[in-house]
Structure 1
């Protein structure tokens, strides 16, 4: 029987693999000239076509008509996708790892405090100091080498982190099942966004190679929307929002390094410092320093009990 904690880590690994792929493929959208408007429409359009008939067959649509699914879709679906996909057109994958995924645990803690008055833990304050220090030093190094510290893409990535953090905290607070969370985000996002896209936004997918469009639609419409969302929700239920957000942060950092040879993206000393600092602040490795394993603790307790003087 797999423990709940172990199940949580399994779901985290699944989420990490897909989130790492999300970073690479989202950057490929810019390389392949796939607009944020198009990929968002195809992503949620495919998910809607798959999921809505399943809900009708199961007669499981009542949950959709509450305010919670609509709000989750608006924040973690439409808004997050448009902002994050747009950011990849202005900044490379390494910047996403820093300003989106690096800030995600911190933004989650701040959102939990603002929305539900959840206090900061000591480890969270340490993370804040490390992350802010890393950003200050990185911006100084970038300004010295390029004359510019931050760009529009960085601002969009940070905005994405804020949106996803609020989405994460609301998910945990409202306690929707993984299935209802995933289907509500996918279906309501399609209902909200597709009419706007069809009537008012530019369509550029005709200029994209069909195979590129198909690959991105399948990955983002099935794996990102469905598989990753369900795995992420299940991980939050078992490990908590902050720990889940901290661990899955590692995947985009790895993807940022992979993007250097794969997409021929630059990796300056300033960006490397930022990746290192944000990674340490997000993962909080000091939590595990000097911590005994469960077996060591059990053996120590047994030894102490044996050495305890007989009271008889």
Structure 2
């Protein structure tokens, strides 16, 4: 008697499923990152305290992986390491500064929303690869959304905050490209970024460049504990690990595009949680940017990616 077995899912299907699941987690965790960063003022914590907690928790948790990660750095190009390190303290300070100047919804919209634009521009400048027309149209929608947010949603510091958030998006785009070229595994990336950022944050706080309650002896233990859970564990470890997995399985362009869907969740949750209004200008910007990233993600990426030989190198 002949028995039949159902075929197992192909390697490509498994990779796609893993990548999509990782992206879903990234969307939720990025939303919590934007909300908790915007709410930083209400906790009484300073930016230096937040940075120490954000990177200190994963650095301590992943301490056993640090020696192995440092050994693996010998095979990495210095430029790739520099790009990966941008995801640490540089991005966090820009993100927190922009959140302070704007709103949670706008923070959650502009940073991930502009990443696909900057990734495409950086890849074009580096590899001169042609950009499909549909992606150009999608990127045009993103640019229009940014312009709307700059003109219709700001307060007195709105434009400055938007510029800072766009700088944070550019930094994250550079990190995304470096992430796609590094040989480090997800835990190695988190360990490296967290350790270097923690050291830098402690040095800046001790020197007085970053205000910190840690060095003044006025630590609010409940606030630090809650922030350690949301930022240290959620953003510092889980979101970074999921983002690395998504990039490895889906590619940098698609991951950057789909990750921009987190603003929808952020804008909705910010209304009851932070009492932020969903204005007409923000709604228009949200529709333009989200529709742009969806169209971007649905466009085949083959023509926009660097040649295979360059990717291997």
Summarize the alignment of residues 217-232 of structure 1 with structure 2, pairs less than 5 Å apart: 217-232=228-243
Q: Structure 2 vs 1, CA of residues 23 and 181 (structure 1 numbering), >3 Å: closer, same or farther?
A: same
Q: Structure 2 vs 1, CA of residues 184 and 138 (structure 1 numbering), >3 Å: closer, same or farther?
A: closer
Give a deviation string over 1:242-267, Cα, whole Å, max 9, x none: 11111121123211221011110122
**Range with bigger deviation, 153-162 or 71-80:** 71-80
Q: CA deviation at 1:176?
A: 2.7
Out of 184, 189, 197, the position equivalent to 2:205 is 197
Q: Structure 2 vs 1, CA of residues 138 and 194 (structure 1 numbering), >3 Å: closer, same or farther?
A: closer
DSSP 3-state at the match of 2:87: helix
User: TM-score, structure 2 length as denominator?
Assistant: 0.81
Summarize the alignment of residues 177-192 of structure 1 with structure 2, pairs less than 5 Å apart: 177-192=185-200
In 1: Cα distance, 2:151 partner to 2:55 partner: 40
Aligned to 1:61: 70
RMSD: 2.5
In 1: Cα distance, 2:128 partner to 2:278 partner: 39
Structure (1 or 2) with the larger CA radius of gyration: 1
Out of 77, 85, 89, the position equivalent to 1:78 is 89
User: TM-score, structure 1 length as denominator?
Assistant: 0.81
Aligned to 2:164: 156
Aligned to 1:237: 248
Q: Structure 2 vs 1, CA of residues 70 and 195 (structure 1 numbering), >3 Å: closer, same or farther?
A: farther
- Structure 2 gap segments, 5+ residues each: 1-7, 300-313
Q: Structure 2 vs 1, CA of residues 287 and 54 (structure 1 numbering), >3 Å: closer, same or farther?
A: closer
Whether the aligned pair in 1 keeps the contact of 2:19 and 2:249 (CA below 8 Å) is yes
Give a deviation string over 1:133-171, Cα, whole Å, max 9, x none: 33334544458xx7x694222111111100000000111
> How many equivalent residue pairs?
283
DSSP 3-state at the match of 1:89: helix
Q: CA deviation at 1:239?
A: 0.7
Q: CA deviation at 1:17?
A: 1.7
Stretches (4+) displaced over 6 A: none
